[in-house]
Amino acid sequence: MLLSTSSRAAAAPDQLDSASPVAGPSRLVSLDVFRGLAVVGMILVNSAGDWQHYYVPISHAPWHGCRPGDLVFPSFLFIVGVSLVYALGGVKRQGGPLGPVLRRVARRAAVLILLGILLDLIPNFYFTSFRIPGILQRIGLVFFACSALFLTTTWRTQLWVLLGLLGGYNVLLQLVPVPGVGAANLEPATNLGAWLDRLVFTKRHLYQDQQGWDPEGLLSTLPAIGTGLLGVLAAQWLRRAAAPAVQTAWLFVAGTGLIVLGLIWDGWFPINKQLWTSSYVLYTGGIAAASLATLYWLCDVQARRRWAIPLLWFGSNAITAFFLSEVVDRLLHKIKLKNAAGQKFAVRDWLYEHLFTAHISNPYHASLAWALVYLAIWTLLLWWMYRRRIFIKV
């Protein structure tokens, strides 16, 4: 199994899933807590009872802008970057051939990509029209790219790569004309990234309801790697021999600075999750860095962890929680039953109508209640797994 945590180091990419929730000298409890918080956010954001009636803080911005729901995925990629440094730091210090390590990293990334594709195929397995890009696919690509950069370069080179990715992406999207469309633009279906995805994947392998573009497309994966590199740089700072107060303070200051830079860049390259713009990378990466600094001070320095125990349940089986919650949701949507009149209806629609909207008059409350109940069910499962010390790794 790739990068086992027998050394008590967090295994990348989400650790990916912690094999041991016990803190140690080379392990950040705060990272498990932060990972758990991100997975809880993912489930809440993705599990609305009714997408027409969902509270703004746990939904995505329609296009430009950033809502709390838009912070979840970049936080997870930031965590991937932090985790892989703790997992691979010992290998890098020891030196020696990197070929075997990179092969294991590549194998793990490939498994994540295949799981993401499998997720979209379930339950019908229509190979002619399934979506190729996706969340797990992006996690796998970012994990591999950031791991390779961490193992083979210094932090200064990683910083230059980060700047090059963000600057280059800005130039591509705002200056390079779009073939068959015309001038560069930031519109959903006509930007350069959407054109590239249609060229490589064709419309049949992208989001079917998005006019031929995909928020996890190829071109926007480049700045997403930048999000992972911010985590890589943050982890290398935390591993320096310095007083915890100094580490925390400067990480928080750096995060605040990134937020300000992101807001400034937003003036000409708008913050946008769907395009994963460079300003979005800095803004959300800054929030993630400040959040990690806060959790590091609370959980690792002050050892105040009791409040975070439920988040550790999620953080210890992060990919499992995300993958299974998505599979169950898709099955509930796809499995059809027949009523007395012979009409077909989805199991999920029946449950939502009879257990929620029939008893909760406010549609926004009903939609949120579905998401909270769904989250509670997974909380019970992950609590049971944690108690039984069942930690499933990719």
The neighbour count for residue 125, using CB atoms within 10 Å, is: 9
List 344's β-bridge partners, or say none: 338
Q: How far apart are CA 288 and CA 355, in angstroms?
A: 37
Q: What is the mean pLDDT of residues 70-88?
A: 96
By CB neighbour count within 10 A (0-12 exposed, 13-18 middle, 19+ buried), where does 257 fall?
Answer: middle
Higher pLDDT, 19 or 197: 197
- Whole-number pLDDT of residue 26: 56
Predicted confidence (pLDDT) at residue 166 exceeds the cutoff of 60: yes
**Is the Cβ–Cβ distance between 12 and 87 less than 8 Å?**
yes
- Whole-number pLDDT of residue 8: 33
Per-residue pLDDT tens digits for 185-196: 999 999 999 999
**Is the Cβ–Cβ distance between 331 and 122 less than 8 Å?**
yes
Q: How far apart are CA 27 and CA 208, in angstroms?
A: 42
Q: What is the mean pLDDT of residues 55-83?
A: 93
Provide DSSP, 213-244. Answer: --TT-STTHHHHHHHHHHHHHHHHHHTSSS-H
Predicted confidence (pLDDT) at residue 19 exceeds the cutoff of 70: no
Per-residue pLDDT tens digits for 210-233: 677 899 999 999 999 999 999 999
Range with the poorest average pLDDT among 122-131, 155-164, 168-177, 216-225: 122-131
By CB neighbour count within 10 A (0-12 exposed, 13-18 middle, 19+ buried), where does 288 fall?
Answer: buried
C-alpha neighbours within 13 Å on the C-beta side of residue 117: 13
- Whole-number pLDDT of residue 346: 86
pTM across the whole model = 0.90
Q: How far apart are CA 235 and CA 336, in angstroms?
A: 47
- Whole-number pLDDT of residue 9: 35
Spatial CB neighbours of 207, under 8 Å, sequence gap ≥ 6: 131, 213, 214, 215
**Which of the four pLDDT bands, split at 50, 70 and 90, describes residue 54?**
confident
**Which of the four pLDDT bands, split at 50, 70 and 90, describes residue 336?**
confident
**Which of the four pLDDT bands, split at 50, 70 and 90, describes residue 162?**
very high
Higher pLDDT, 58 or 79: 79
Strand, helix or coil for residue 336:
strand
Q: How far apart are CA 164 and CA 175, in angstroms?
A: 16
Lookup: tokens for 121: 């195929």
Predicted confidence (pLDDT) at residue 255 exceeds the cutoff of 70: yes
Predicted confidence (pLDDT) at residue 170 exceeds the cutoff of 50: yes
Across 1-34, b (16+ Cβ under 10 Å) vs e yields: ebbebeeebbbbbbbbbbbbbebeeebbbbbbbb
Predicted confidence (pLDDT) at residue 284 exceeds the cutoff of 70: yes
**In the chain, where are the structural domains located?**
5-387
Q: What is the mean pLDDT of residues 233-256?
A: 92
Percent of the chain surpassing pLDDT 90: 70
